[in-house]
Amino acid sequence: MPQNKSTYSYLIKSEAKNLGFMFCGISKAEFLEEEAPRLEAWLQKGMHGEMQYMENHFDKRLDPRLLVDNAKSVISLGLNYFTDKEQTDILSPKISKYAYGTDYHLVIKDKLKQLLQIINEKIGEVNGRAFVDSAPVLDKAWAKKAGLGWIGKNTNLINKKTGSFFFLAELIIDLELEYDIEPAADHCGTCTNCVDACPTEAIVAPYVVDGSRCISYLTIELKNEIPHEFKGKMDNWMFGCDVCQDVCPWNKFSVLHNEPAFTPHPDLLNLNSKDWKDITEDVFNKVFKNSAVKRTKFNGLKRNISFLKERI
């Protein structure tokens, strides 16, 4: 087996590329020692807001061996979603680019299942699990460890060649591989564009985001009413927010994705301010079928639009 670690790793990275992933890096499955105190402090300060699930499975978040029996490797993958398509009415409530097409959970989970199947066919029986942003896995920490990029001041993972408009996912498997041991250097330098531009001042310090102030949290995760203090500070975002990425200098290197599933529904970009204000549940279900926007549900989106109504 040891002499095949390099061969297996090369095979996995090649197959990941064939499946459309922009990045693939591999780390040893072990306890995330550096992340433990950071995560604990973040939770203790209540920066996770109403995301109670962040308090669950603390140990599993830090040790992949508790998620997959006898885990040896964490395969980190990145899938590009950058697009130059925009909503036609510049005054309409805004949706984050990542939610234009089919829900990325569905798209990536399918690709990960294919990759695991290929590993089993070409290498042998391997036990593993696929993770896409909905389980106790610290995606960015593993991606950084695997050399996919550095964690920027907005706490997004940034790659020097392609910026930050990509999704992260993992395969945790019980196969020992050749590990990428060169984490990317931090290239944020003295830039504070993201800190300065955040409409709700959620980036409370470089590399620290108060999740309970983030527009993405307020429009998606928060189930109660949006606090009045954010009135007029939402920059017209009704689902998610791209501000800290849009102002990041490294995103001038972003390249257009080539994933057909991320093509927007034909009606989505053409809905105007009045259309959004008067949106019905039927239109919502039609436009957002298999979309990440379904997470906020019809009433949640109506709540968000209503909160922005002074701008509509």
| Mean local confidence (pLDDT), 161-173 | 97
**For 88-111, how does the pLDDT look when each residue is reduced to its tens digit (9 = 90+)?**
999 999 999 999 999 999 999 999
Q: What share of the chain is helix, strand, coil (3-state, %, to 5)?
A: 40, 15, 45
Tell me which DSSP letter residue 186 carries. P
Name the residue with tokens 């591999």: 26
Strand partners, 209: 203
Question: Would the pLDDT of 13 be above 50?
Answer: yes
> CA nearest 305: which of 51, 283, 63?
283
Structural domain including 31 reads 1-312
Question: Would the pLDDT of 238 be above 90?
Answer: yes
The pLDDT value recorded for residue 1 is: 43
Q: How far is CA 74 from CA 1, 122, 176, 221, in A?
A: 18, 18, 10, 27
**For 106-150, how does the pLDDT look when each residue is reduced to its tens digit (9 = 90+)?**
999 999 999 999 999 999 999 999 999 877 889 999 999 999 999
Question: Would the pLDDT of 289 be above 70?
Answer: yes
The pLDDT value recorded for residue 154 is: 98
- 29-43, 242-256, 280-294: the lowest-pLDDT one: 29-43
The pLDDT value recorded for residue 52 is: 63
pLDDT band at 298 (very low <50, low <70, confident <90, very high): very high
Phi, psi values for residue 269, rounded to 5°: -75, -15
- Give me the DSSP letters along 28-57: E----TTHHHHHHHHHHTTTTTT-GGGGTT
Mean pLDDT score of the chain, rounded to an integer? 93
Strand partners, 128: 173
* Cβ-contact 183, 144 below 8 angstroms: yes
Question: Would the pLDDT of 155 be above 50?
Answer: yes
- 79-93, 131-145, 268-282: the lowest-pLDDT one: 131-145
**For 168-203, how does the pLDDT look when each residue is reduced to its tens digit (9 = 90+)?**
999 999 999 999 988 889 999 999 999 999 999 999
> Which residues, 6 or more positions from 176, have their beta carbon under 8 angstroms from its beta carbon?
1, 2, 5, 72, 73
| Counted domains in the chain | 1
Question: Which amino acid, residue 218?
Answer: L
pTM reported for the whole predicted model: 0.92
Q: Is 95 helix (H, G, I), strand (E, B) or coil?
A: strand
The pLDDT value recorded for residue 123 is: 95
- Give me the DSSP letters along 126-170: --EEEE-SSSS--HHHHHHHTTS-EE-TTS-EEBTTTBT-EEEEE
* Cβ-contact 200, 230 below 8 angstroms: yes
Catalytic residues, by residue number, are 133
Q: How far is CA 205 from CA 150, 196, 201, 214, 291, in A?
A: 17, 10, 9, 13, 32
Q: Is 91 helix (H, G, I), strand (E, B) or coil?
A: coil
Rounded distance between C-alpha atoms, residue 234 and residue 220, angstroms: 13
Rounded distance between C-alpha atoms, residue 259 and residue 22, angstroms: 11
**For 19-62, how does the pLDDT look when each residue is reduced to its tens digit (9 = 90+)?**
999 999 999 999 888 887 787 777 788 776 666 666 666 778 88
* Cβ-contact 248, 94 below 8 angstroms: no
Strand partners, 239: 95
Rounded distance between C-alpha atoms, residue 157 and residue 165, angstroms: 9
* Cβ-contact 153, 208 below 8 angstroms: no
Rounded distance between C-alpha atoms, residue 292 and residue 219, angstroms: 12
| Mean local confidence (pLDDT), 232-261 | 97
Q: Which two tokens stand for residue 268?
A: 């989505």
